[in-house]
Amino acid sequence: MISVGIDISKEKSTVCMLRPYGEIVEAPFDVEHNEQALNALVEHIKSFDEDVKVVLEATGGYHQVVVTKLLESEIFTVVVNPYIMKRYCAASLRKAKTDKIDSIRIANYGIDHWFSMTAYCPPDEIYAELKLLGRQYDQYVRLKINCKIQLANLLDGVMPGIKKILTGTVPASSTKDKLCDFVEKYWHFDNIKKMSESKFVADYQKWAKKKGYRYSESQAIAIYQLSQNNIPTLKSSTPSTKMLVLQAVKSLRDVELTLSLIISQMQEIASTLPEYSVVREMKGVGEVLSVRLIAEIGDIRRFHNGSALVAFAGIDAPPYESGKFVGTKRNISKRGSATLRKIGYEIMHSLKSTKPTEDSAVYDFIVKKELEGKPKRVAKIAGVNKFLRIYYARVMEVYC
Torsion sign, CA atoms 145, 146, 151, 155: positive
Given this model, what pLDDT does residue 242 score?
93
Question: What are the pLDDT digits (tens) for 230-265?
Answer: 888 999 888 899 999 999 999 999 999 999 999 999
Are the CB atoms for 384 and 368 separated by under 8 Å? Answer: no
pLDDT over 80 at 312, yes or no: yes
Q: How far apart are CA 51 and CA 3, in angstroms?
A: 9
Are the CB atoms for 251 and 207 separated by under 8 Å? Answer: no
Whose CA is closest to 313, among 262, 387, 251, 245?
A: 387
Q: How far apart are CA 318 and CA 209, in angstroms?
A: 59
**Exposure string for 285-304, b = 16+ CB within 10 A, e = fewer:** beeebbbbbbbbbbbbeebe
Nearest 5°: the CA angle 329, 333, 338 is: 135
What mean pLDDT comes out for the span 124-146? 93
Mean pLDDT rounded to a whole number for the chain: 90
pLDDT band, very low/low/confident/very high, at 175 (cuts 50, 70, 90): low
Nearest 5°: the CA angle 388, 389, 394 is: 95
What values do phi and psi take at 357, rounded to 5?
A: -100, -25
Q: How far apart are CA 400 and CA 387, in angstroms?
A: 20
pLDDT band, very low/low/confident/very high, at 169 (cuts 50, 70, 90): very low
Instruction: Calculate the alpha carbon distances from 323 to 190, 317, 327, 328, 330 in Å.
Output: 74, 19, 11, 14, 17
Q: How far apart are CA 281 and CA 26, in angstroms?
A: 56
Are the CB atoms for 12 and 33 separated by under 8 Å? Answer: yes
pLDDT over 90 at 328, yes or no: no
**Single pTM value for the model:** 0.84
pLDDT over 60 at 171, yes or no: no
What mean pLDDT comes out for the span 124-132? 92
Whose CA is closest to 144, among 182, 188, 180?
A: 180
What mean pLDDT comes out for the span 142-162? 94
CB within 8 Å of 7: residues ≥ 6 apart: 13, 14, 15, 56, 99, 100, 102, 103, 106
Residue 56 burial (CB < 10 Å; 0-12/13-18/19+)? buried
Q: Range with the lowest mean pLDDT among 22-31, 47-56, 92-101, 218-227?
A: 92-101
Are the CB atoms for 217 and 116 separated by under 8 Å? Answer: no
